[in-house]
Amino acid sequence: MKITFLYHSAFMVELEGCTLLFDWYGGTLPDYDREKPLYVLASHHHGDHYSPEIFTALGMEGVWYVLATCIRLSEKRKKALGIQEGHVVRVPAGKAIRLGDLTVSTYRSTDAGVAFLVEAEGKRIFHSGDFHW
């Protein structure tokens, strides 16, 4: 497992079979294996944790997005960004979902959105989102 701090609350976690990208809202990403699935997790709608431009920057092929339910995307916006429904999951706090070989559990944040606990390949990765209070 390789963990790279990008900036602010953004991290990339490279596992054997996939890559996780937490709270990335733009900028240059380090090199990573683009043959592996990429899971992009956005904890909430604040501009320092999420930007809709991530969809055009990363695309849909081999990429899945897990978004807190406070992140709103209108049908018009989804079409403009080229978002394919099967590649975007919106989750509230207190929910666990299965996505590929991952289990993603969400927890209530003390500010906005959610925190993530991702279980994959026998590992647990926690990203707190905005737990600053």
pLDDT digits (tens, 9 = 90+) for 79-123: 999 999 899 999 999 999 999 899 999 999 877 889 999 999 999
Q: Please name the amino acid found at residue 77.
A: R
Strand partners, 87: none
Contact criterion met (CB below 8 Å) for 66 and 41: yes
Cα angle for residues 130, 40, 49 (degrees, 5° grid): 30
Confidence (pLDDT) at 132: 60
Domain interval for residue 42: 2-91
Q: How many CB atoms lie within 10 A of CB 132?
A: 9
Confidence (pLDDT) at 75: 92
Considering its fold, how many domains does the chain have in total? 1
Whole-angstrom distance, CA of residue 115 vs CA of residue 118: 10
Kindly state whether residue 105 falls inside one of the protein's structural domains.
Answer: no
Whole-angstrom distance, CA of residue 6 vs CA of residue 27: 9
Kindly state whether residue 13 falls inside one of the protein's structural domains.
Answer: yes
Confidence (pTM): 0.93
pLDDT at 131 over 80: no
Average pLDDT over all residues of the chain: 92
